[in-house]
Amino acid sequence: MEESKSGTVRAVDRALDILLCFTDTTDLGLTEIAEKTGLHKSTVFRLLASLEAKGFVTRDSSTEKYKLGFRIWELSVNLSQGDDPATILLPEMERLRDILGETISLYIRDGSERIRIQAVQSKHSIRRVAPIGARLPLYVGASSKVLIAFADMNTQENMINDWKEFIDISAYKDQMAGIRKVGYATSVEEREPGVAAVSAPVFNRSHQLVAALSVSGPLNRLTLENMKDHAGLIIESANRMGNMLR
């Protein structure tokens, strides 16, 4: 991996790189971590010893794979509310709602589900939407497509493998490739009759997917034509959100 940045501590940089391997995977072996980080196995072993001793990673007793430890949860509890992405991104979501006049939602993937972590309601629509915190499946909706299409390859393979009995794998992969190409996904009446949605990925500064930004509304306002018209604005807004997250 990259050599030490000026002014940083190389061993610490490396240990944090190991932790960051767990942003989209829950279980990893030592050799897998060495491959992901480009570090020697003996180096990874020692750095993991430090992370494990302080509770940042733990060793699963049955699989012997490494996973994130309790301290990550403990620290996350103490993230102040002002730093919560759901709070940081709210003004930009409100700005987008004011421009487009539709309901704006933000979703993250959690295993084989997505969670609605923030929402700004359309001013004129009074239809029901899933409450914040709701867990929804990943096989319907524009944001589900985004959370799969822009996920790492391992996650995509796992989801596709889970669904192999229900989908045309080849057609699904083509659909995901098309979404990556245009940079957004659409859905029409997939989760709810009469409702369409457009969704774009939110990436962090390391170009990793962190959330899906979604605009939804009734079919008479979100036609295929103006979904395409809105896509550029939604992608641009998602990019602005990515820049707001450190």
Partner DNA sequence: CTAATTGTTTCACATGATGAAACTAAGTTA
Partner DNA sequence: TAACTTAGTTTCATCATGTGAAACAATTAG
Q: Of the two residues 3 and 165, which places its CB atom closer to DNA in the complex?
A: 3
Tell me the H-state helices in 21-140: 30-37, 41-53, 70-77, 85-88, 90-100
Name which of 19, 216, 232, 13 is nearest 107 in CA terms. 216
Of 1, 3, 5, 225, which lies in the binding site for a second copy, with binding defined by CB under 8 A? Answer: 5
Identify the three-state secondary structure at position 190. coil
Question: Does 23 interact with DNA (rule: CB under 7 A)?
Answer: no
CA separation for the pair 130, 184 (Å, rounded)? 22
CA separation for the pair 90, 58 (Å, rounded)? 34
Name which of 182, 121, 112 is nearest 147 in CA terms. 112
Q: What is the footprint of a second copy within residues 57-116 (CB under 8 A)?
A: 58, 67-81, 83-85, 108, 110-111
Of 205, 207, 220, 225, which lies in the binding site for a second copy, with binding defined by CB under 8 A? Answer: 205
Candidates 6-14, 103-111, 125-133, 168-176; binding stretch for DNA (CB under 7 A): 6-14
Q: What is the footprint of a second copy within residues 129-158 (CB under 8 A)?
A: 133
Residue 176: what residue type? M
Pair of tokens at residue 100: 């487009």
Residue numbers of the site for a second copy (CB under 8 A)? 5, 7-9, 11-13, 15-17, 19-20, 22-27, 46-47, 49-51, 53-56, 58, 67-81, 83-85, 108, 110-111, 133, 204-206, 210, 245-246
Contacting residues toward DNA, per CB under 7 A = 3-4, 7, 9-12, 14, 29-32, 39-43, 45-47, 64-65
